[in-house]
Amino acid sequence: MAMMRLRREDPRVVGSFRLHRRLGAGGMGVVYLGSDRRGQRVALKVIRPDLAEDQEFRSRFAREVSAARRIRGGCTARLVAADLEADRPWFATQYVPGPSLHDKVVEDGPLRAADVAAVGAALSEGLVAVHEAGVVHRDLKPSNILLSPKGPRIIDFGIAWATGASTLTHVGTAVGSPGFLAPEQVRGAAVTPATDVFSLGATLAYAAMGDSPFGHGSSEVMLYRVVHEEPQLHGVHDALAPLVSACLAKDPEERPSTLQLSMRLKEIAAREAQGLHDARPPAQREQERERVELNRPTARYPERTARTDRTERMERRTGGSSRPQAPARTGGSRPSQPRRTNGRQGGTRPGVRTTSTGRRPANPRLLRQRITVFFVVTLIVALGIAAAQKL
């Protein structure tokens, strides 16, 4: 979330919280980054002065803060503190680090089908907790969804209304963001959990396409399209389009419940995540296979290949083979014929050791016998010579 320096007119302390930066400003007031004495960071919203002077707004705001305290669930920013009697009422919620869904799409483009479904499943589950507390968010949109490291979080319950309340302000205008408002909000009818389902459908369409399903234009044009025209979902993934279209039904009774949405989106997210690898284009899969083949080792024994490379380099330097050659035979002997080795060195039988010249070593027992015979014969010859000399 983008942060800005405090302006001269901004307060420095609100309640027990010290303010550090501006996080943004909206139709109800300014949001600040603050912290308490323990260092806990909060997002603190201070209500606009003109709304603070409206007693009807104050009483309605007090009811909504009381309802927001009852919201439980990991997909919402927890309410930390509030002061409804201050000159300018304020409330503080848990600070959620991470970009908004709007900023994520603007910077990185539309999300993949698996990611859209995963975000939608988490948001649907969060809305179940919101609606169980008797609250309707009424302004669910990409900028009110933060993508924290622990998952998406719904923020800004500043205009949340109790179930069944009217959507009109004291001046008769609809509260919310054109393009993400439900038709019943535009007409001024009572809001229900189905109102948030419509906004969630428009939000998921934005995440998948990078644009609102009702296009662009002035507030009046956008509100007219929401009530009278069908959404444009040409860029929504095929796996998600039918479900998103059901969320954007004009009649609230035709929209799925948040519980049904959560279960269905979880199924789509799991299926799309499993098919991400196989869903790659054929050219990309072929390039991946070629890259694997090129990186595969070319020799079974790399050390033998290295010795072969050194031998070849030596042969190129000397102009011939670097292996020692056997002395040539003389006397008109026949030229030696290459011996068949059948893959064994020197043509020996398996298991028989050979010397470096390719010959088998002498049998130690036979060698001892020959030496003994040599000494005996030598001794006999010597004794014979000595006897002959005496005669």
Instruction: Give the residue ranges of the annotated binding site.
Output: 45
Give the integer Cα–Cα distance in Å for 49 and 56: 14
Give the integer Cα–Cα distance in Å for 263 and 227: 28
- The gap from C-alpha 218 to its chain's centroid, in whole angstroms, comes to 36
- The residue behind tokens 């007090």 is 62
Please give the annotated binding residues for ATP, written as ranges.
Answer: 45
Strand pairing partners for 82? 91
Q: How many CB atoms lie within 10 A of CB 83?
A: 16
**For the chain, what's the residue count?**
391
Strand pairing partners for 135? 162
Residues 6 or more apart whose Cβ sits within 8 Å of residue 255 = 194, 197, 198, 201, 246, 247, 248, 249
Q: What is the CA radius of gyration of the chain?
A: 43
Are 92 and 81 spatial neighbours (Cβ–Cβ below 8 Å)?
A: yes
CA distances from 59 to 28, 51, 188 (A): 15, 11, 20
Give the integer Cα–Cα distance in Å for 273 and 112: 10
Q: Is 92 exposed, middle or buried (0-12, 13-18, 19+ CB in 10 A)?
A: buried
Nearest to 170 by CA among 57, 65, 88, 61: 57
Give the integer Cα–Cα distance in Å for 170 and 4: 32
Q: Tell me whether residue 87 is one of the annotated catalytic residues.
A: no
Are 19 and 10 spatial neighbours (Cβ–Cβ below 8 Å)?
A: yes
Are 1 and 146 spatial neighbours (Cβ–Cβ below 8 Å)?
A: yes
**Options 139, 156, 196, 309, the catalytic residue:** 139
Residues with a known catalytic role: 139
